[in-house]
Amino acid sequence: MSLRGDVCVVTGAGGFLGKRLVRLLLEEEKMAEIRLMDKHIEPTVLHTLEDCKGDTNLSVFEGDIRDSEFLRKTCRGASIVFHMASIIDINDSVEYTEIYGVNVKGTQLLLEACIHENVVSFIYTSTIEVMGPNSKGEPIVNGSEDTVYDCTLKFNYSKTKQEAEQRTLQANSEVLQNGGRLATCALRPMYIYGEGCRFLLGHMNDGIQNKDVLFRMSVPEALVNPVYVGNVAVAHLQAARSLKDPQKRNAIGGKFYFISDDTPHVSYSDFNHAMMSPLGFNIQDRLLLPLRLFYVFCFILEVLCMMLRPFVRIVPPLNRQLLTMLNTPFSFSYQMAKRDLGYVPRYTWEEARKHTIEWLASQLPKERERIRAK
């Protein structure tokens, strides 16, 4: 089902995944208009899209996702919303009121704007972290949408993303102002990598400062399955096409889907090494501390930061929940998305790795120079 002639809104359009989706939409669909919504869009973003823009109108909407009037203006006349904007915070460094306001309240206001402005399709970009792992570090291997897992989320990021996802799915079949019905679905990508991934860049910078030796923060047997950004963008396109298809719309509305690809199952630390070893980086053989001692160390850090909280806010660089996430086998299959959405990874592991390494290689001289200049 084609999106030809549609008007769509992409929130978080200036971000890592948002820019990739906008380019894909321009290359594959003859849409009437794509609205790039974010708190700020760099002028270079539009410039880099000129080569594939064609006849599609690209509009920039800069504003606060917590502003209901701004959201209604952005959604007016649109038929599809890709909601990617959120605060990503794995260290609990952002105040809860701020992350809740953007991730939950912003999503709720956007859903209300869609209902008021008769937007018929809403795709929410969720995350694997709404599933866990739990504080016990109980593993999941090739899980599915039917996997039952006991988890009380610890990160404010995970909790707010989970609530936003729930609100999105509950809004499915809400009656629009014109009497139509809103259809919603949520996509749960694994850890997303690729050109522009700030986490990979951060690990590379740490390695540079450690004499080109990457830190090992996860044991080799803690297997996960990262997903390439280009394949995540394809999954969003397929979700939009499926929601527009009258025969599929009711079947997928109100559901969530795990999004992975054929990237090999590997630990987070060994994944970083797979990306950076061609650039001359090695990796530590073992964790800085035995895992149990590492947990004790993180606990002490957390207690100290809590004691200082009345006087100064210090965020520890590592906490127990993050250490659990890095050291728990946690992988999921994309077969349900393949069956219901027609999603098939477009980029092989070899292609994804090649593109990512080339991007990292282009960044390496600048990062070395920046670190030397400190």
Contact between residue 354 and residue 265 where contact means Cβ atoms under 8 Å apart: no
DSSP codes joined into one string, 47-100: HHHGGG-TTPEEEEEES-TT-HHHHHHHHTT-SEEEE------SS--S-HHHHH
Contact between residue 360 and residue 279 where contact means Cβ atoms under 8 Å apart: yes
Residue 41, classed as helix, strand or coil, is coil
Looking at residue 301, what is its pLDDT?
87
Task: Return all residues near 370 (Cβ < 8 A) that are at least 6 apart.
Answer: none
CA-to-CA separations, 111 to 66, 164, 221, 241, in angstroms, rounded:
12, 10, 41, 19
Q: In CATH, what number does 7-197+227-262+331-348 get?
A: 3.40.50.720
pLDDT digits (tens, 9 = 90+) for 156-170: 899 999 999 999 999
CA-to-CA separations, 184 to 112, 171, 197, 204, 284, in angstroms, rounded:
13, 7, 27, 37, 44
CA distance 62 to 166: 26
Residues forming beta bridges with residue 213, ordered by sequence position: 282
What are the strands, taking DSSP E only, across 171-240? 183-189, 192-193, 213-214, 227-228
- What interhelical angle do 198-209 and 268-276 show, nearest 10? 80
pLDDT digits (tens, 9 = 90+) for 211-263: 999 999 999 999 999 999 999 999 999 999 999 998 899 999 999 999 999 99
Looking at residue 351, what is its pLDDT?
97
Q: Exposed, middle or buried: residue 151 (CB in 10 Å: 0-12, 13-18, 19+)? A: middle
For CA atoms 102, 104, 110, 112, give the dihedral sign. Answer: negative
User: Would you state the structure tokens that stand for residue 74, as one six-digit string?
Assistant: 């952005």
Q: How much is the pTM?
A: 0.95
CA distance 83 to 85: 6
CA distance 296 to 97: 29
Going across the sheet that includes 121-125, the strands are 57-62, 33-38, 7-11, 80-83, 121-125, 183-189, 255-259
Looking at residue 49, what is its pLDDT?
85
Catalytic residues: 157
- Residue numbers in the chain where pLDDT is lower than 50: none
Looking at residue 92, what is its pLDDT?
78
Closest CA to 276 of 346, 193, 220, 192: 193
Looking at residue 48, what is its pLDDT?
85
If you count them, how many residues does the chain have? 374
Q: State the DSSP code for 175.
A: B
CB atoms within 10 A of CB 102: 20
